[in-house]
Amino acid sequence: MDQGEEEMVMVVRLESVSKWYGETPVLRDLSLEVGEEERLVILGPSGCGKTTILRLIAGFSPPDEGEVYLGEELASDKGRVIVPPERRGVGMVFQDLALWPHLTVEENLGFGLAAKGMPREERKRRVAEMLGMVGMEGFEKRRPAELSGGERQRVALARTLVVEPRVVLMDEPLSSLDPDLNRRMRSEILKLHQRLRFAMVYVTHSREEAFEIATRLVVMKKGRIEVEGGVEEVRGYAG
């Protein structure tokens, strides 16, 4: 390391993790690190294990072999979730967005803050601030069914970010959008990251999305990492 260069702080570490679903191996002896403020993109076809990595980081399931660390804390190991999802400081944007249809926009955003015990007035302030960041002022009283696809996408991002997670996981969040809206939402994600500086793990099968969003790329195939590096290092990979 060059003199004066700071070592990157790792906020997530997977060490030699393997995962099976029944008799089918999904991840095979995989090791991976995510640095503070990094935008790590996991690229690969359906069934290669991308979403399973997110589930292990979030604590939705444990590895069958290996360990998952959050910072220096052991969060999961073989067959055990040690730190439950609600205590991990991890936010997730699902492919289907998973907004609660019976709640308004402000209620969707405020739910996680209320669960943390945040006072009502502070919740309202934080929700208003986050809706301003994603350009959704004035939509507080609407329900998801009253929003366009792009508006729902912004609400899902805001709901994840309002609780100030240390790590944000994104599971193909733009896959259902038309190409023009997809491009615009990529730009919005990058602007939010630049402003809030969270660590991000973004899963996609789109090389175009991956090359625009990533600061570092992992290409997966059949539960293993095929290649890993910066955008220019991976751009020429034809595997």
Give residue-wise pLDDT tens across range 189-205.
999 999 999 999 999 99
Pair 31, 17: CB distance under 8 Å: yes
Which residues, given as ranges, of the chain have pLDDT below 50?
1, 3-4
pLDDT at position 76, please? 98
Q: Which of 232, 235, 231 is nearest to 40 (CA)?
A: 231
Number of H helices, E strands in the chain: 7, 11
Place of tokens 């260069």: 5
pLDDT at position 181, please? 87
- The tokens describing 190, both together, are 């990058």
- DSSP summary character for residue 29: E
Integer CA distances (angstroms), 192 to 19, 41, 59, 150, 154, in order: 33, 16, 25, 15, 11
pLDDT at position 1, please? 43
Strands (E), the chain: 10-21, 24-35, 39-43, 65-70, 73-77, 80-81, 90-93, 167-171, 199-204, 216-221, 224-229
pTM over 0.75: yes
pLDDT at position 4, please? 45
pLDDT at position 222, please? 93
pLDDT at position 239, please? 55
Residues 6+ apart with CB under 8 A from 139: 105, 131, 147, 151, 155
* Calpha distance 196→225 (Å, rounded): 29
Of the CA atoms within 13 Å of residue 143, those in its CB half-sphere come to 5
